[in-house]
Structure 1
Amino acid sequence: MDSTSAQAHHERARFLADPLGLAGRRFLVTGGSRGLGREIVHLLVAAGAHVATCARRPEGLRRLEEDVAVTAAAPLYTQALDVTEPGRLEAFTAAAADRLGGLDGVVANAGGAHGRDLRSATAADWAATFDINVVHAQRLVKAALPHLGAAGGGSAVLISSISGWKPAPQAQYGAAKAALISMAKSLANELGPDNIRVNAVSPGSMLIPGRRWARMQEQDPQAFARFTAQIPGGQLVTPQEVARTVVFLLSPWSSGISGAHIPVDRVQNAPTPDGY
């Protein structure tokens, strides 16, 4: 067997043993107690990774810890905190790296919006929206840099949104999510020489129990049917589908992908039932 064939054989054997190459790797996910963040944590744990996550509500983190305890290769490291509070995210990142023995990747998943339309939204609403989305992602990547560098590189995934390139109400939210797409491309160029990859993932409107679209489905099925009719296939994307893409981007199998913007939206036309 020549060296090329031997390498290919080794790659196939490794894939069968650890399909995504994530066993034993170490990741930090913000906003991991519910929705998309929760699914990302579950998939990483199922793949054998060691995971740290934070969220604002301790009860959600406790439920997450209980859910993954059976399958986790190691206990989750969790902490209740607000990622916009000065110094807290940086301290948690350092503590997570210490607890996990380093970091191989981070996911800036926490996000949200403040204020409503242009006439009523204040400057503080715009600033708070950029803080939770854009500034939080920048702070996370920056705090993780020493640890990713010590590991010889790694991957950062920034969670944007369909609203970042398909305009919808709440301009401050769309502008912040668009900034994340641009940031991923810029940071991929800046950090590429250090073998650190940065990508953005933009979910469509996700069907999450208890959240806006699930409530619409239950309370106004006709409006929900009109909304989903604009999507080829007639259904919203699920958090599990988005999480699979995020986990792939964290894995060595995506080693050639950096600076990308990957929509996971089932070709959804507009972010809301109201259209553009």
Structure 2
Amino acid sequence: MDLQLAGRKALVTGGSKGIGRAVVESLAGEGATVAFCARGAEGVEACVADLTAAGHDVRGAAVDVADGDALRAWVTGCAEDLGGIDVVVANVSALAIPPTEENWEASFRTDMLGTVRLVEAALPALEASGAGSIVTISSVSGREIDFAAGPYGTFKGAIVHYTQGLAHQLAGRVRANSVSPGNTYFEGGVWESIESGDRELYDRALALNPTGRMARPEEIAVAVTFLASPVASFVTGTNLVVDGALTRGVQL
């Protein structure tokens, strides 16, 4: 299937590793030009080098999405450099789980405001696109109570609410959808860290999934890419759960 992404311009936050990097690679593989950001300059440079060598049209920048001015400047600069924006993917999370006051603040600044500021900065370009698409990355922790209840789960749930509100407000102009991944394992990710640091929690989480494994980043990325694409032209206001049947609640 041709997803009609060739020649489109996409922005991805948190794009140097894990799900974010898989999204950058997936969008670029469909022919989109992709600009991404992440906090670590070294990781950004390595990712750009790898994907450029693979023939993809990508560019990266070191940006902390919790810094509103820096995020807005990056989005504005990308819109100018790329000649517009067709897709934004809000992927960054503080991954702040214990319910300390510091983690509540970090989750609000990074997960929630990072998403809102990205969308608001990109919205003029998205509306001018004619095929503008917003995809936010939530989590199954946003729709059920698990070990990440607290700052992480609360703001992941809020992101779904925010995104579905956008879908109604922007209907007919810009589409907005969210993707809620289940536990996703990748090198350098949180589940690799838990596997070595808290094996009991890792084994308990793994046992909850009837597939017997966790997701791979590329399995989340294909869902994001489809929702971002013009082929999904009548899909808006949806929260797509990609969890291998991990969650048991019925999503009506």
TM-score, normalised via structure 1 length: 0.84
Q: Which amino acid aligns with 2:36?
A: T
Q: Name the SS of the counterpart of 2:42 in structure 1.
A: helix
**Overall identity of the aligned pairs, in %:** 38
Which consecutive unaligned segments of at least 5 residues does structure 2 have?
none
Q: Which amino acid aligns with 2:26?
A: L
Q: Which amino acid aligns with 1:174?
A: G
Matched, 1:99 2:81: yes
Deviation, 1:216, is: 4.6
Deviation, 1:252, is: 1.1
Which consecutive unaligned segments of at least 5 residues does structure 1 have?
1-14, 271-276
User: Are 1:77 and 1:99, in contact at CA under 8 Å, matched by a contact in 2?
Assistant: no
Deviation, 1:87, is: 1.1
Aligned residue number for residue 87 of structure 1? 69
Alignment of 1:234-245 (within 5 A): 234-245=212-223
Select which of 31, 35, 38 maps to 2:18. Answer: 35
Alignment of 1:115-264 (within 5 A): 116-117=98-99, 121-122=100-101, 124-169=102-147, 170-193=149-172, 195-217=173-195, 224-264=202-242
Aligned residue number for residue 78 of structure 1? 60
Structure 1 distance, partners of 2:204, 2:72, is 44
Q: Name the SS of the counterpart of 1:116 in structure 2.
A: coil
Based on CA coordinates, which of the two structures has the bigger radius of gyration? 1
Q: Which amino acid aligns with 1:21?
A: Q
Matched, 1:49 2:20: no
Deviation, 1:86, is: 2.8
Deviation, 1:168, is: 2.3
Deviation, 1:78, is: 1.6
Q: Name the SS of the counterpart of 2:178 in structure 1.
A: strand
Structure 1 distance, partners of 2:80, 2:155, is 31
1:86-137 Cα distance to aligned partner (Å, 9 max, x none): 31111111111111111101000011233623xxx12x43122111111111
Q: Which amino acid aligns with 1:151?
A: S
Aligned residue number for residue 9 of structure 1? none
User: How many residue pairs end up in the alignment?
Assistant: 247
